[in-house]
Structure 1
Amino acid sequence: MTMSKRDTYTPDSLLAVAVGVFNERGYDGTSMEDLSRAAGISKSSIYHHVRGKEELLNRAVGRALDGLFGILDEPEALSGREVGRLEHVTRRTAEVLMDELPYVTLLLRVRGNTRTERWAMERRREFDQRVAELLRAATAAGDLRADVDVRLATRLLFGMINSIVEWYRPDAKGSADRQQVVDAVVRLAFDGLRT
């Protein structure tokens, strides 16, 4: 008995294909026909796994957000001096970004045109606010410079981390390895922020 191509797809493998197409063409610029072509299966086969394009987007950005919010629940993010907790969150955010590169790339590119995109943007803001609170607390404790506005420092920190999606290619020849990138982000950020 021969398996049809539909039988070889799982929700996760279909999601990976969809994320690749969304990142290449943009979510708004991607049709179900584009997804069908990229997956090599019929549109009806896609509908066998999901209700539609927005469900794929929801699953994709949800995966990225779960990874980021999971960091905030790690023991190192919950106890100890605020500056150490902030350094841990910064390190792990860079790691999660690289581990979930296509998913976080998509998360960073949503623009709020759909309910899912608005939800994702709100969750991103919530994550940023929680990190900003840690930065504020570390500054109040005297461990970080008080002469840099907390909101500005938070934006610059996330700007540095989020820019990784634009240039990091783990399989590219001559590309910095994951640990080099993480160490550089933490070193550059905290050498500039610490008192």
Structure 2
Amino acid sequence: MSVSEEAIEVVPARRGRPGYDQQQVLEIAVQVFIEQGYDATSVASLAGRLGLTKSALYHHFESKEALLEVALEEAIGSLEGVLREPGAQSGSARERLEYVLRGAVCVLVEKLPYVTLLLRVRGNSDIERAALERRRAFDREVTALVRTAQIEGTVRADLEASVATRLLFGMVNSIVEWYRPTGAEGAAELADDVLAVALDGLRTR
């Protein structure tokens, strides 16, 4: 069989749909997980949404679990990365806290579907539980920053640091419910608004 004949045979198998690279498969899968819920999404329904056979889907990812793991890494890995950036490592605790909050908002905007998925997992699998533990570790590091800022006198000390962290990230995380990338504000402007509302409430009197 000639090369041209092989190419002609492949086209009907794809049913006229464009090919997907791994990133495109991941992006569509995340959207389906958000819409249907991860547990309720079968490999068959995911392949159907993509217009692929299950074997073609497995060419990109070996399992539904592998898709979830990569998707959650996009979110939690990016958040953890903010804590390792120079701006989160130097300066006063207040300045570092501001940097981390700003960075978290920017990650949320840049990785909106992935963070949305992260916020919706409930620990029903080892992959989800590992991601949730990393989220808790992230929160603990932010709480330590809040506590240090309280000690240095740059944020009010009459609030429990862990409660303040939950309230701050309750505000940040709520963005996934209403923010639209096509709106009037981009990540930088949105981060400015969050800092103005959130940290002014923590300012010392």
TM-score range, shorter chain: over 0.9
1:180 partnered with 2:180: no
Aligned residues: 193
User: 1:45-56 residue pairs with structure 2 within 5 A?
Assistant: 45-56=56-67
Instruction: Look up the match of 1:121.
Output: 132
Report percent identity of matched pairs: 50
Deviations 1:55-98 (A, max 9, x none): 00000000111110110111010011110000000001001001
1:112 partnered with 2:123: yes
Could you say what secondary structure the match of 1:30 adopts? coil
Q: Which residue identity is paired with 1:179?
A: A
Could you say what secondary structure the match of 1:8 adopts? coil
Query: Are the counterparts in 2 of residues 168 and 175 from structure 1 also a CA contact under 8 Å?
Result: no
Could you tell me the TM-score, scaled by structure 1's length?
0.94
Unaligned runs of 5+ in 2: 1-6
- Once the two structures are TM-superposed, the CA of residue 175 in structure 1 deviates from its matched residue by 4.7
Deviations 1:77-134 (A, max 9, x none): 0011110000000001001001000000000100000110000100100111111111
1:133 partnered with 2:153: no
Could you say what secondary structure the match of 1:113 adopts? coil
Query: Are the counterparts in 2 of residues 69 and 127 from structure 1 also a CA contact under 8 Å?
Result: yes
Instruction: Look up the match of 1:28.
Output: 39
2: CA distance, partners of 1:137 / 1:78? 13
Could you say what secondary structure the match of 1:163 adopts? helix
1: CA distance, partners of 2:23 / 2:85? 25
Could you tell me the TM-score, scaled by structure 2's length?
0.90
2: CA distance, partners of 1:132 / 1:94? 17
The match for 1:147 among 136, 153, 158 is 158
2: CA distance, partners of 1:179 / 1:80? 20
Q: Which residue identity is paired with 2:46?
A: L
Instruction: Look up the match of 2:30.
Output: 19
Q: Highest Rg: 1 or 2?
A: 2
- Once the two structures are TM-superposed, the CA of residue 7 in structure 1 deviates from its matched residue by 8.3
1: CA distance, partners of 2:184 / 2:40? 30
Q: CA 1:7–1:51 in structure 2 vs 1: closer, same or farther (change >3 Å)?
A: farther
1: CA distance, partners of 2:27 / 2:79? 18
Could you say what secondary structure the match of 2:201 adopts? helix
Unaligned runs of 5+ in 1: none
CA RMSD after TM alignment: 1.6
